[in-house]
Amino acid sequence: MALGIELVPGRSCGECTLCCTNLAIDTKEYRKVPGVPCAHLCAQGCGIYDTRYPVCRTYFCGWRCMDALGEEWRPDRSGILFDALPDEELPAQYRAGGRNLRITLFGRPASDKMETLYRFVSTLIAGGVLVVLAVPGPPGHDGAHVVLNVSLQEAAENGDLFRIEAFISEVVVLARDAPFKPVRFENTD
Ligand code: SF4
Ligand code: SF4
Q: Quick one: three-class SS letters along the chain?
A: CCCCCCCCCCCCCCCCCHHHHHCCEECCCCEECCCCCCCCEECCEECCHHHCCHHHHHCCCHHHHCCCCCHHHCHHHHCEEEECCCHHHCCHHHCCCCCEEEEEECCCCCHHHHHHHHHHHHHHHHCCCEEEEEECCCCCECCEEEECHHHHHHHHHCCCHHHHHHHHHHHHHHHHCCCCCECCCCCCC
Report if residue 154 sits inside a domain. Answer: yes
Instruction: Indicate if 40 and 92 belong to the same structural domain.
Output: no
Instruction: Indicate if 88 and 156 belong to the same structural domain.
Output: yes
Tens digits of per-residue pLDDT, 24-34?
999 999 999 99
Instruction: Indicate if 89 and 139 belong to the same structural domain.
Output: yes
pLDDT value at position 188?
62
CB-ligand 1 contact for 1 (6 Å cutoff): no
Instruction: Indicate if 49 and 116 belong to the same structural domain.
Output: no
> What is the whole-number distance in angstroms between the Cα of residue 18 and the centre of ligand 1?
6
Tens digits of per-residue pLDDT, 34-49?
999 999 999 999 999 9
Instruction: Indicate if 97 and 147 belong to the same structural domain.
Output: yes
CB-ligand 2 contact for 48 (6 Å cutoff): yes
Report if residue 64 sits inside a domain. Answer: no
Instruction: Indicate if 118 and 45 belong to the same structural domain.
Output: no
> What is the whole-number distance in angstroms between the Cα of residue 96 and the centre of ligand 1?
26
pLDDT value at position 178?
84
Report if residue 34 sits inside a domain. Answer: yes
Instruction: Indicate if 22 and 97 belong to the same structural domain.
Output: no
CB-ligand 2 contact for 53 (6 Å cutoff): yes
Structural domain including 167 reads 70-176
Rounded to two decimals, the pTM is 0.92
Tens digits of per-residue pLDDT, 69-127?
999 999 999 999 999 988 877 777 777 667 899 999 998 899 999 999 999 999 999 99
